[in-house]
Chain A
Amino acid sequence: LAKTTQPISMDSYEGQEVNITCSHNNIATNDYITWYQQFPSQGPRFIIQGYKTKVTNEVASLFIPADRKSSTLSLPRVSLSDTAVYYCLVGDVGSTDKLIFGTGTRLQVFP
């Protein structure tokens, strides 16, 4: 599994766009990039997944450059309820293997 590096914490204000970047220099050809969100005292929750270019869903966008050595999770117009820890994970296509969580990025949104 590719090692990932992301900022320990970020602060933002309501209504702003937040971009959290994750580096994964050793990403393999078969690896997908997946982001999970965890609120305090809750289980992680899948947000978005992508392989290359850009993926968008109702919650977030994921930008992946051509070399795939990094990815950026973009949260548009955050609210207080987006305060959570965000994890970037990298793993094989079709894999049902264990998820390896790092320390994630703790996002604090202020009013």
Chain B
Amino acid sequence: EPEVTQTPSHQVTQMGQEVILRCVPISNHLYFYWYRQILGQKVEFLVSFYNNEISEKSEIFDDQFSVERPDGSNFTLKIRSTKLEDSAMYFCASSAATTGYQETQYFGPGTRLLVL
């Protein structure tokens, strides 16, 4: 069964450093998402991406965040200058563009980011 993959599985960084989290969505999917989950809290939406542009972003997704689909397979989330409060599990998800149902989103295993 196809699956979403994410790298790295864990990332430790110093406050103020840039990090790039990588995702490979399912190959025939067209919609891509990033979510995050702070330890013990809810899964929160960050951004959705379609047709090489952001479809929607949340209040969390400020100027420090950016997303990119640099080639036909990767989807990245960049945090320019990390803060302590960016420490969380970051999940990538993708969905197909079929109609008729609320689209199922397939989530990756996550990247655990720890900012020191």
Contact = CB atoms under 8 A, between A and B. Distances in A.
B18 to A, nearest CB: 24
Give the size category of B's interface with A.
20 to 34
A44 to B, nearest CB: 5
A46 B105 contact: yes
B1 to A, nearest CB: 11
Interface residues of A, number: 26
Interface in A24-45: 31-32, 34, 38, 41-45
Nearest to B97: A96
Contacts, number: 69
Interface in B74-105: 89, 91, 93, 95, 97, 99-105
- By Cβ-Cβ distance, the 10 closest A-B pairs, closest first, are A43-B107, A98-B45, A101-B43, A32-B102, A91-B102, A43-B91, A94-B99, A96-B31, A46-B104, A96-B103
Interface of B: 4, 31, 33, 35, 42-45, 48, 50, 55-56, 58, 89, 91, 93, 95, 97, 99-110, 112
